[in-house]
Structure 1
Amino acid sequence: MYTLIISVAISTAAALGLYFLTYQIFWPLFIMVVGILGLNYFIGKKFMKKLTALFKSVEKDIQAGRVEKAVEKLKEGYPYAKWQFMVKEQIDSQIGILYYTSKSFDQAEPYLQNAFSKNWMAMSMLAASYYKKGDMAQVRRVMDKGIKGAPKEPFMYALYAWFLIEKSDKAKAVEVLSKGVAKNPVDDRLSSNLDAVKNGKKLKMQNYGNYWLQMHLGGKNPQGGQQYQQFLMNQRMKRK
């Protein structure tokens, strides 16, 4: 937010100054557009580095199971939301994931509801939360939104199909998996799951390892959640 305001203010002032010197339109407009984009990028990049450092700082707390301490550290990044769009949504995504992974489902849900739509793990967990409550309308809404935000993530399609199969909607499951295969043609897991559904067999969600186990929808709990921790810490902060 502040980043955009500062970028617009400085670029507009520079453009007006150039206009009154030259009384031409093209170059002042060009300077203004380039200035807004350039300043927004460089100022935003500075804050993204700070957020990345913040995310890395909670790694030891996550590994030690100190969820609340990790959450409090992540919340220290909230003031950055005044400077950059979508910062709070990205932080809330991580907090929601942490709570959900530690089985604090009620605490996780409000954060997941505010999650960044491109964070497919957060979207998956939010859909799983609604599924447990039997709210398939919300499951469909969240999964559609999540797939739109992360169309190249195979797990999203498989999980969506699993929800649908559990509710005996085979036709929609085939449709979802077919879209997933089209977007991810080299992913053998999606292809095999599509064939399985067409032939009336069960989806092989165990092929997705800890990503599936972290949904807490069936199977044994992952030991220590190490794969999830790596996923969390390696995520790049995205800018809208």
Structure 2
Amino acid sequence: MINLAISIGVALVLAIGLVLLQTSWFIYVPMGLVAGVTTFLVLGRRIQTQLEAIMYQMQKDIQSGKLDRAIDTLKQGYSLKNRHIFVEGQLNSQIGVLYYLKKDHERALEYLSKGFVKHHIAQCMLAIIHYKRKNLDEMKKVMDETIRANGKQSICYGLYAWLLHQNKDKEGAMAMLQKGLKKMPDDEKLTNNLTLLQNDKKMKMKAYGDMWVQFMLERPPRVQQEAPPHMRMRRKAMFR
């Protein structure tokens, strides 16, 4: 990556310069490291600012209901992919999420499989696609990697357990919830779902809110709308 190469170059140039001045290694080694790290952080911040502008525009596109435009906006960020580490992976994850929300699993898989493992929502979506395609080994592989990289994300343990339970692996699901509770002993969602499984009941994932809804694994609850005023008056008339 260009920023990393520049940072290493700055560190080496400074260190070599101090060596030529016959400076002790107690000085030129730390000074070189500080110069390199500082340069890397400054350059990284510049890239982050550019990415934030792209993400802001993407959110505006989504709020306008224009997912295709949001995807095109994100793809503009590929011009930065060689500038800094993890940029391409993060963009792939974000684009994959949008394709998933469009229910275009083929394109979503293309991007999510090249995504950033720390983007736990994107990784969960990747695992779900493998699950729906009956590729359980790949699903488990993705979820195992995701949990290793995101050990404090309750939804990862909950989703993994839910997928295992849907595949008739109750013991595996319970073991996964217990694994999550070792990391997060006070997590009520994991505790409640473990209790449900222990009592031979279905897991309840709606407590995760929008995080769960976006996976589109269960039908959203029906909203019982109140009848319009003219209908209510007609009903009253019927029971007079």
Q: TM-score, normalised by structure 2?
A: 0.89
**8 Å CA contact 1:80, 1:87 repeated in 2:** yes
Aligned to 2:230: none
CA drift at 1:23? 4.3
AA paired with 2:63?
A: Q
Aligned to 1:49: 49
Gaps of 5+ in 2: 224-240
Aligned to 2:163: 163
Percent identity over the alignment is: 35
Aligned to 2:235: none
State how far apart, in whole Å, the 1-side matches of 2:12 and 2:122 are: 39
CA drift at 1:213? 2.0
Q: Secondary structure at the match of 1:76?
A: helix
| Residues 121-170 of structure 1 deviation map (CA, whole Å, 9 limit, x = unaligned) | 10110011011101110110011111112111111111000111111212
Aligned to 1:228: none
State how far apart, in whole Å, the 1-side matches of 2:221 and 2:87 are: 31
Aligned to 1:99: 99
Aligned to 1:152: 152
AA paired with 1:203?
A: M
Gaps of 5+ in 1: 224-240
| Residues 64-93 of structure 1 deviation map (CA, whole Å, 9 limit, x = unaligned) | 221111111111111211110110110111
Aligned to 2:181: 181
**Bigger CA radius of gyration:** 2
AA paired with 2:49?
A: K
AA paired with 2:73?
A: K
Q: Secondary structure at the match of 1:85?
A: coil
CA drift at 1:221? 8.3
* Higher RCO structure (Cα 8 Å, ≥6 apart): 1
State how far apart, in whole Å, the 1-side matches of 2:110 and 2:222 are: 24
Q: TM-score, normalised by structure 1?
A: 0.89
Question: Given the superposition, is the C-alpha separation of residues 176 and 159 from structure 1 closer, same or farther in structure 2, using an over 3 Å criterion?
Answer: same
State how far apart, in whole Å, the 1-side matches of 2:182 and 2:68 are: 41
AA paired with 1:150?
A: N
The within-5 A match list for 1:1-240 is 1-220=1-220
State how far apart, in whole Å, the 2-side matches of 1:34 and 1:125 are: 39
State how far apart, in whole Å, the 1-side matches of 2:102 and 2:78 are: 22
State how far apart, in whole Å, the 2-side matches of 1:182 and 1:193 are: 15
State how far apart, in whole Å, the 2-side matches of 1:104 and 1:66 are: 15
